[in-house]
Amino acid sequence: MNDFYNTTKLSVKIFRIQIAKTIQRFAVIACFAGLSIFCKAQSSDFHPYFSFGTSHGVSFSSINFYPAVVQQQLMGYYGGIAANYVSEKCFGLQVELNYSQRGWKEQATAGTFQRRLNYFEMPVLTHFYLGNKFRWMLNFGPKIGYLLSESSQNAVASSSHEEYTMPIANKFDYGFCVGTGFELCAGSTSYTLEGRYSFGLSDIFPNSKKDTFGSSGNKFVSITLGVFLHFPARQH
């Protein structure tokens, strides 16, 4: 009797989870469908345009170590150039070429240890926005990068902190990023403010069973200010 009760209880729980997931999927689909209808309704006087610009700001980075390493955010520079093609009302594609400073910082016995990793990065992003002269925007998509150089401070060899001097095994980086912010349009020029979260799907150190770390991917938050020129000038 108890086995029957437990089996029934488990089945009901699984059924509830499936219903909840179905409702979540339906809500996401309905949301995107509603946004598409909203954009289509405003697209009668829309004309596609290109945007070229530059953005610059700061990043706060760390490494997703496993086993975990106690660390602090390392502040660095993040910025570059971007090209944006908006083919439909509310939707477009944005490609960027950025210089990205990443790494991490630890409180070491002899002071603060930090290791800075300098990357060339290319995100390819879906660009979504709502509004006319003042817009809310959302950028998301994959990114690839390559390690150009690195530097460290207080890098003393330690058996308990192998990450201080361990060579970077994988210079190629790939991952995903998502950002949101605002855009102010003024004729053929616009100004942007964006916050973005990026996380790597690759590891900087070896990750086999015999290695020290099973995971060591980049992750960082960036805040940038940008200016873009539009060709032809936007139609509002």
Q: Residues 194, 55: contact at Cβ < 8 Å?
A: yes
Residue among 94, 186, 80, 198 nearest 139 (CA): 94
Q: What is the Cα–Cα distance from 182 to 193, expressed in whole angstroms?
A: 5
Task: At 48, list the tokens.
Answer: 């596609």
What does the pLDDT read at residue 35? 55
Residue among 98, 108, 93, 104 nearest 78 (CA): 98
Judged by DSSP in three states, 121 sits in strand
Judged by DSSP in three states, 202 sits in coil
Q: What is the Cα–Cα distance from 111 to 230, expressed in whole angstroms?
A: 49
What does the pLDDT read at residue 9? 44
Per-residue pLDDT for the chain (236 aa), expressed as one digit of tens each?
A: 545 444 444 444 454 555 544 555 554 454 554 455 556 555 457 789 999 999 999 999 999 999 899 999 999 999 999 999 998 889 999 999 999 999 999 886 667 889 999 999 999 999 999 998 999 999 999 999 999 999 988 756 554 678 888 899 999 999 999 999 999 999 899 999 999 999 999 999 998 888 889 999 999 999 999 999 998 765 55
Cα 9-14-16 angle, rounded to 5 deg: 95
Q: What is the Cα–Cα distance from 191 to 110, expressed in whole angstroms?
A: 44
Beta strands 49-66 and 74-88 are: antiparallel
Q: What is the pLDDT of residues 75-89, one digit of tens each?
A: 999 999 999 999 888
> DSSP label at 72?
B
What does the pLDDT read at residue 25? 54
Q: Residues 185, 133: contact at Cβ < 8 Å?
A: yes
